[in-house]
Amino acid sequence: MFALFAEGLESLRLPCSYVVLAPAIGVALFARHRAAATIGAFVLAAALVAWLRFAGWWFETPTGFTQVVVGVAMVGIAVLSFRADHWATDVSLGVVTSGVAVWSWIPCVGPELGDLIGEVGSEPWPNLAGTATFMVGLLTPFVALAAIEATFPKITAVLDLTWIRTVGAAFIVVMAVLVSATLFDDLASELAQRSAF
């Protein structure tokens, strides 16, 4: 398990991971003082969607009309979350953003993740924890931020500024526009080609 976590950490520096990391930055900024719940939801959704993809139980990468619908839905959820400014809508936005990002993500496959992907198709349930471990490694900076926010809420109260939430929303809306314009999967493919483990 530690090797999967370490490989996830190592993947932080690779361009293929930016497809998941950039939306995570947006969600973290958007959530502000609700980072623990929102980032926690982002990480759990990322692990679940990655595992479902590796097991072959998830939808194919979105194309055409599906991308337009998903992107428009993301913008709608972002606007609703921004206006509501409530933990439940922030958590929902974290889950949806994570799910869409990991849906299009082309992972950089090192030896540990390669072994996991090879095994998860035939033995999916025992490999759920391994997938989650890899994703926690990949998203460690955000897990650390969530832990700090949960442990020391007064420190992260500094993040409770409207302009920070607006910057986070901009990250998410740009992602949604790229999804709607059917360019997000092209970006994922280009970043994957520029990555080498």
Helix (H) or strand (E) holding 35: helix 35-55
Question: Residues 46-98: pLDDT tens digits?
Answer: 999 999 999 999 877 777 888 899 999 999 999 999 999 899 999 999 999 99
Q: Could you list the pLDDT tens digit for every one of the 197 residues in the chain?
A: 899 999 999 999 999 999 999 999 999 989 877 888 999 999 999 999 999 999 999 877 777 888 899 999 999 999 999 999 899 999 999 999 999 999 999 998 999 999 999 999 899 999 999 999 999 999 999 999 888 888 887 776 667 788 888 999 999 999 999 999 999 999 999 999 998 76
Structural domain count, the chain: 1
Q: Among candidates 184, 194, 152, 173, which has minimal Cα distance to 64? A: 184
Q: Which residue has the tokens 């090192």?
A: 110
Tokens at 2, concatenated? 């530690």
pLDDT of residue 64: 83
Q: pTM of the prediction?
A: 0.91
Domain containing 163 equals: 2-193
Q: Among candidates 175, 188, 186, 183, which has minimal Cα distance to 74? A: 175
Q: How far apart, in whole angstroms, are the C-alpha atoms of residue 124 and residue 57?
A: 10
Q: How far apart, in whole angstroms, are the C-alpha atoms of residue 171 and residue 91?
A: 16
pLDDT of residue 187: 94
pLDDT of residue 32: 78
Q: Which residue has the tokens 């095994």?
A: 119
pLDDT of residue 46: 97
pLDDT of residue 197: 63
